Chains A and B, each alone.
Chain A
Amino acid sequence: MPAGQPILELQEITKAFGGVEALRGVDFALSPGEIHGLVGENGAGKSTLMKIIAGVHADFSGRFILDGKETRFRSVRDAHAAGIAMVHQELSVAPDLSVAENVFLGNQPTNRLGFVQWRRMAREAGEQLKRFGIDVDPMSRLGDLPIGLQQLIEIARVLFSGARIIILDEPTSALSPPEVERLFATLKRLRDEGTSIVFISHFIEDILRVSDVVTVFRNGRKVAETRAAETSKPALIEAMIGKGREALEETYTHDIMLPPPAERPVVLNASSLSLARSLRDVSFDVRAGEVLGIYGFMGCGQLELARILFGKLRPDQGTLAVAGDQKTFRSTADARRAGIAFVPESRRDMLFHQEPVYKNISISVLDRISSLLLKPSREREIAMRQVDQLRIRPAAVELDLGMLSGGNQQKVALAKWLSYPPRLLVLCEPTRGMDVGAKDDVIHIVRDLRAKGLAVIVLSTEPETVLSLADRVIVLKRGAVVREFANERISKDRLLEAA
């Protein structure tokens, strides 16, 4: 650790949500001019601790010492005033405002009368973004840009806000490798200029590459703190989950042999799907008992493709056939009736947080088990079976979904469709933001489904996810299929190369 006094020191921090302790007596120190990596499984307390630092959570117990003086933030505004800024996991930009307005959100340059100085704002925003390697018209509408670029702009806003402590929560999940490179270069430059940076990520390679110090969280406690140069990925993973795992190795194998295609019936055939600005002439099919991986960087058209498959978007051109029958989905209800199930990339969009677990699971089968009147005991029974099978914890179907941890919520999102059971399961980013243990569980669930003869489509921007699940992979680039991998050796490098 660089010599001298830490800029920020937290002692014995404890924080509970509705009786559930998220942090238990955590100490944390941040030195000036350091990049501090945080790792830990979902629900380990990383984000909670960072939200305390950023003033989001004001009620906690413990000592909060900034510049050697004990303080207490009452709001995000207080944290900003003290030079602390955070990029949250979820994108929080104003899509209808210009790029420049987003960069200067909340502190536009004004003249003495309080009028916004548009020209100055556009010029400065353009310069800042260029320093970060982004070349866009500062006056264009932000929402028109690809998602990855929007995320970079949001990061840029915080990086150049002049904050001396910057917290980044999973900043790289939507970025392409070259964008990650640029981000890391910028982070290192800011560090050398004296800024302190906290970097949270599930990509342990990223953490090891960019951090000076790494802290590991488990179950609301800090379990390790080491210099990045003195540790390794296996050591960190072991600290995170508390034990070594073999399945882990399997997940991260770098060279995988794809199996030869099976002679099973085609469940879904997509032919020449096109959608304005997103997809061009995409064709593929997927067979029973097969997992088709669709890989591409953020903004390659995956999200739109998945939504077309589930009837949420309608293609401008092209056709879908389910088990040989041409289908036009006018609504998601049509797609479900055809036997298609869909899990979007964000759990928030998929689940009912204020409803008990069993209602979340039974919703997909309600029309099968009840014509008019509900049968709550049957619903609970069905839910309980899924909870057992998927090892959802706590195993209480009456509990509100919001009380579950993120990984368990993701399992509920799957459970809801498993009781259905569909012919084709479309999974978007099934392991995004998940800890290693939960990822492993999801991989096993998908393999079980494949063994039962389901067709599965996995869409992901994470090569590991596709590699660990798929029997066959197609790569999307700017809305078009550029490569198909089948019955051959495949690796992360070859995937990235194709995309």
Chain B
Amino acid sequence: MTTGDSATVAADRKRPHRLAAILRSQMRNIAPFLTLICLFSFFAVASPSFATLDNFGNILTQISVTGIIAVGLTFVILCAEIDLSIAAIANVTGIAVAYFTLQESYVNIANVPMPGWAAILLALALCALLGLVNAFGLTVIGIPSFIMTLAMMQIAAGISALLVRGQIAYKVPPLVTTLGSTSIGGIPWIVIVAALMLLGGHLVLTYTRFGRYVYMVGGNREAAEYSGLNVKLILGSVMVISAVCAGIGGMLGVAHFGSAQQNEFDTYLLDSIAAVVVGGTSLFGGRGGIGNTIVGLFVLGVLNNGLDHVNIDSFLKILIRGLILLAALIINVYAQRLRERTAE
């Protein structure tokens, strides 16, 4: 068969280039890792206090909340959607769990005390519900996720505002306090929770049918639909997963910070998106995964932490951070292009 012969010939010819091709197709994974090594080496040389076991623990703790939120966001971005409401949902969930917990008498919030488990369940139900609203808007009404979650960001912030009314709450259920702010055997619980959730996300994405569908929907939505996948159900699910992960991150975050208040999580939106994308997960969907997100989290963690260890103008640090993130993103897009060229 003529076509067969020519294809076999083509495959033979390709062999010497195979290693190069593999390297090129793995660029997306290699580049973020190299970035991480470079940053780490730089700070290790620049500051004697950076490369210590203690500080490594600090970094882990610092990236935990972002890590928990980023698990769900990874699912969303793999589907070529975006969730801008994660930080606001984290915030409102953290506030909700405090709202349902008995506060000290000096806290001026009309809270509704409940048993700890009930508070946690209600808070989880709240974030799941907000995720469902996102899912409904995206799949049933057909609002682009960028806009839908932008609205949800405002809605969640509004609920937060109504619940706390400018006040600060401190108490959360004991389980949340334990997981958010205590350690076991020298390892903070929050680090363990983040690690378990990242692991769980990785297992779901890699080894389950749902995970495969997420990659397929992100890789080519049209093809997924023509393959008879229930694309809307998958998109809806990732929006709910994202909201619930954000909610868990928010509850533990509140315990970790020791307070629940308005706008507490604002920086986590950009940090989470940056962690996912810097790690090499494609904003166009279908490529990347939790492994990439973990590398991205460390890039961000090392960068944020390392800049505190070197002696530079603290106002300059923000700019430096932005520039390094930009560089990482450029590498991401470049890696995408290299891969496309290989696939051509």
B105 contacts the other chain (CB 8 A): no
B1 contacts the other chain (CB 8 A): yes
Q: Chain A CB within 10 Å — which of B14, B211, B215 has the most?
A: B14
When the two chains form the complex, which single residue of A350, A363, A407 contacts B3, counting CB atoms closer than 8 Å? A407
When the two chains form the complex, which single residue of A355, A405, A416 contacts B7, counting CB atoms closer than 8 Å? A405
Which residues from A are CB-within-8-Å of B220? 349, 351-353
Whether A435 contacts B232 in the complex (CB less than 8 A), given A19-B17, A349-B222, A372-B209, comes out as no
The closest CB in chain B to the CB of A22 belongs to B10
Q: Which of B46-54, B141-149, B223-231 contacts A (4 or more CB under 8 A)?
A: B223-231
Binary contact readout A333-355 vs B (1 if CB under 8 angstroms, 0 otherwise): 10111000111100011111111
Q: How far is the CA of A403 from the CA of B141 in the complex (A)?
A: 38
Q: Distance in Å from the Cβ of B204 to the closest Cβ of chain A?
A: 10
A276 contacts the other chain (CB 8 A): no
Whether A355 contacts B219 in the complex (CB less than 8 A), given A241-B2, A405-B7, comes out as yes
Q: How far is the CA of A260 from the CA of B229 in the complex (A)?
A: 37
B2–A41 touching, CB < 8 Å: yes
Which residues from A are CB-within-8-Å of B311? none
Whether A19 contacts B6 in the complex (CB less than 8 A), given A349-B226, A367-B209, comes out as no
A364 contacts the other chain (CB 8 A): yes
Binary contact readout A32-68 vs B (1 if CB under 8 angstroms, 0 otherwise): 0000000001110000000000000000000000000
Q: How far is the CA of A241 from the CA of B9 in the complex (A)?
A: 16
Which residues from B are CB-within-8-Å of A19? 13-14, 16-18, 20-21
B226–A394 touching, CB < 8 Å: no
When the two chains form the complex, which single residue of A342, A355, A366, A441 contacts B226, counting CB atoms closer than 8 Å? A342
Q: Distance in Å from the Cβ of B258 to the closest Cβ of chain A?
A: 39
A396–B11 touching, CB < 8 Å: yes
Q: Distance in Å from the Cβ of A119 to the closest Cβ of chain B?
A: 36
B207 contacts the other chain (CB 8 A): yes
Q: Give the contact-size bracket for chain B.
A: 35 or more
A27 contacts the other chain (CB 8 A): no
Binary contact readout A59-102 vs B (1 if CB under 8 angstroms, 0 otherwise): 00000000000000000000000000000000000000000000
A437–B2 touching, CB < 8 Å: yes
Q: How far is the CA of A343 from the CA of B1 in the complex (A)?
A: 24
B286–A354 touching, CB < 8 Å: yes
CB within 8 Å of A: which of B186-237? 207-209, 211-213, 215-216, 219-220, 222-233
What 5 A-B pairs have minimum CB-CB distances, sorted nearest first? Answer: A336-B228, A19-B17, A402-B343, A393-B4, A333-B230
20 contacts between A and B (CB under 8 A): A19-B17, A19-B21, A332-B231, A333-B233, A337-B228, A342-B228, A344-B226, A349-B220, A351-B220, A353-B343, A363-B212, A363-B229, A372-B209, A394-B11, A396-B11, A400-B25, A402-B344, A403-B343, A404-B7, A408-B3
Residues of A within 8 A of B (CB): 17-21, 41-43, 218-219, 241-242, 310, 312, 331-333, 335-337, 341-344, 348-355, 359, 363-364, 366-367, 370-374, 391, 393-394, 396, 399-400, 402-405, 407-408, 416, 435, 437-438, 441
Residues of B within 8 A of A (CB): 1-11, 13-14, 16-18, 20-21, 25, 207-209, 211-213, 215-216, 219-220, 222-233, 286-287, 339, 341-344
